[in-house]
A = this chain, B = another copy of it.
Amino acid sequence: MTHRCRRSSGLWKIVVWDEPFFQGKKHEFTSDCYSTLDHGFSTVVRVTGSFEHCGFQGQQFVLERGEYPCWEAWSGSNAYHVERMCSFRPIACADYGRSRLMLFEEENFQGKRGELSDDCPSLPALGWGSNAVGSFFVRSGAWVCSQYPGYRGFQYLLESDIHAGEYKHVREWGSHVQTGQVQSIRRVQQ
């Protein structure tokens, strides 16, 4: 999972504290961190760049630059309650303006297909006939798909430079929830 940064690590910085609301011990990271527990840290707060979570396994949270004073700030309302953010890595996204994502109704790129090049807060509003997606092919960019409309619920990260952009089955993007329920999708911006 290392060496995935395409830009200088100087562009990314994540500052973590071990207590909510920017209290307690503080540490800065500018590259991948497999386990904050090795450093005695758990709570993430100030972010430069985009990151995901947890031994590179488990629940994912895509964090854009900004302040997250507590677990509730970065999690979704239906997240299972694990307040510790154990690991994170920068997300490479060369040119989000040229992001393109293909959606397929069924796994292995079968069934009805659709293509996105812009943020979509509601797939049903676009005419996608189901509340689920069977497989994805990321032509370019990095995307966040979400369980519910309006970017709510569980998040899953899709990247063109992982698996050659091929996500053939829900197991390949949703390691923590085995459902293909996806109702909103947006680009990762830098």
Contacts and interface: CB of A to CB of B under 8 A. Distances in A.
Contacts of A30: none
Interface stretch (A102-110, A144-152, A165-173): A144-152
A78 B73 contact: yes
Given A189-B125, A190-B125, A63 B119 contact: no
A189 B149 CA distance: 11
A28 interface: no
Interface string A3-40: 00000000000000000000000000000000000000
Given A122-B64, A124-B66, A73 B151 contact: no
Interface in A161-190: 183-184, 186, 189-190
29 contacts: A62-B150, A64-B121, A64-B122, A64-B150, A65-B122, A65-B124, A65-B149, A66-B122, A66-B124, A66-B125, A66-B149, A67-B131, A67-B183, A68-B148, A70-B78, A71-B77, A72-B78, A72-B153, A73-B77, A73-B78, A73-B147, A74-B150, A76-B76, A76-B77, A77-B79, A120-B189, A121-B186, A122-B189, A150-B151
Interface of A: 47, 62-68, 70-79, 119-125, 131, 144, 147-153, 183-184, 186, 189-190
Nearest 3 interchain pairs by C-beta: A66-B149, A64-B122, A65-B125
